[in-house]
Structure 1
Amino acid sequence: MTSTTAPAGDQRGAYFEQLYQQDADPWRVRERWYEERKRALLLACLPQRRYRNAYEPGCGNGELTLELARRCERLLAADFSAEALLLAQQRLADAGQAGNVAFERHKLPQDWPRTTKGAEKFDLIVVSEIAYYLSADELALLVEHSVASLAPGGSIALCHWRAPFAQRILSTVRVHDAFQHAPGLHCLLRHEETDFLLGVWSNDERSVAQKEGFA
């Protein structure tokens, strides 16, 4: 994590824009074994092999986006930073995996995609390394939007760094607890390490084995 203090409120967008303009991979997500391993764990914890319609807010430079795109028919990848979105688009284009991915600039929670009546909801939502930048009120809206836009049987995956750093507003425990106590969600998995927390919730409490009919 960078030690530079992030401005609060609406200035967060400018902070992330400058961050990605200065460095295309500010957290070394493509280089560090820690990041590669964390992605592999998150992907292994997803309870379905394939997803129809997924949403990844805070996609950054697209490293996790690339792996999610390989398991989704459609993926909406969004970020606060226009520069990050350009990097993510290039990453997927270089890998030949851009055809099923749409990119949009979203400020959370205000720009959360509206799944109005008749619109298809998301059967996978991945919130990774972004929710601790939100205020308590913004987190509450994030949880509300996530639950409301989750398709029946869908999953919400969260993964967040645990250690203190200058830009953090909320603790990782508080972020994950907000989803743990959300009405209508059931915790399918909690993975805890010194460095990060990983959790998966669903509006269907059945396990993978139960869904496949042998438990």
Structure 2
Amino acid sequence: MLQPLEELENFYQQEEDPWSYETTPDDAKRRSIIVSEIPERSYGKVLDIGCGHGFVTRELPGEDILGVDISNNAIQQAMKLSVHQSKAKRLRFLNASIFELDAVLSETYDLVVITGVLYSQYIGESKTLVRQIVDKLLNSNGVLVCSHINDWYSMRFPYLLLESYFFEYREYTQRLEVYVK
């Protein structure tokens, strides 16, 4: 069953950092690993799907970085937290569902990052649809980075897998995958 949007909105309305990303050492480690595993190259347009309040988004490489989240409250917090960042002029945020991205975004991206989104409570059984949407958004030779709790994540993408990396994250095992289209 999909988690109701109202629950996510309430969650982000109650606290500025509801997942405790900013204060949990495991999350600093997770963000560092994600960013360090992104292949070194020049990225023009970057898309962070399910950016939440921008914890990972703010550290991504790229000239034009777009963070997208289904929660408007999360997007408002992301904008607030990003105002004083050195990358602030390169950061944009958009309130949208993963399922509407191919309709609301006309651009393609050199780098797409998806962290903690591809779970059944967020996408249901729509793996094929998500793959199609990502395929439309990712440039040819573009990089896709996925990082999820391994026990909750079963999705794979039909691209060249450059890296599959497991690491401890809170009480879970996190799986990081880096693909090239």
Whether these two folds match at TM > 0.5 is yes
- Matched-pair contact (CA < 8 Å) for 2:161–2:177: yes
Report 1:107-126 matches (<5 A). 107-109=97-99, 111-114=100-103, 120-126=107-113
Distance, in Å, in 2 between the alignment partners of 1:122 and 1:155 is: 9
Structure 1 position 190 matched with structure 2 position 180: no
* Number of equivalenced pairs: 175
Report 1:70-81 matches (<5 A). 71-81=61-71
Q: TM-score of the superposition, structure 1-length normalised?
A: 0.75
- Matched-pair contact (CA < 8 Å) for 1:81–1:105: yes
Alpha-carbon shift at residue 113 of structure 1 (Å):
3.6
Structure 1 position 43 matched with structure 2 position 31: no
Structure 2 counterpart of 1:13? 5
Q: 1:25 aligns with which of 9, 17, 29?
A: 17
Higher relative contact order (CA 8 A, sep 6+): 2
Greater strand share, structure number: 2
Structure 2 counterpart of 1:209? none
Q: Aligned Cα RMSD in Å?
A: 1.9
Structure 2 counterpart of 1:127? 114
Structure 1 counterpart of 2:73? 83
Deviations 1:126-179 (A, max 9, x none): 000011021122x2211111122211221000001235xxxxxxx31x12xx32
Deviations 1:75-133 (A, max 9, x none): 11111111100110011102243211221111122x114599xx642110000001102
Percentage of identical aligned residues: 23
Structure 1 position 150 matched with structure 2 position 124: no
Task: Return 5+ residue gaps in structure 2 as ranges.
Answer: none
Distance, in Å, in 2 between the alignment partners of 1:22 and 1:47 is: 36
Structure 1 counterpart of 2:94? 104
SS of alignment partner, residue 72 of structure 1: coil
Q: TM-score of the superposition, structure 2-length normalised?
A: 0.89
Deviates more, 1:146-155 or 1:39-48: 146-155
Amino acid at match of 2:139: A
Task: Return 5+ residue gaps in structure 1 as ranges.
Answer: 1-7, 164-170, 204-215
Structure 1 residue ranges (4+ consecutive) displaced by more than 6 angstroms after TM superposition: none
- Matched-pair contact (CA < 8 Å) for 2:58–2:91: no
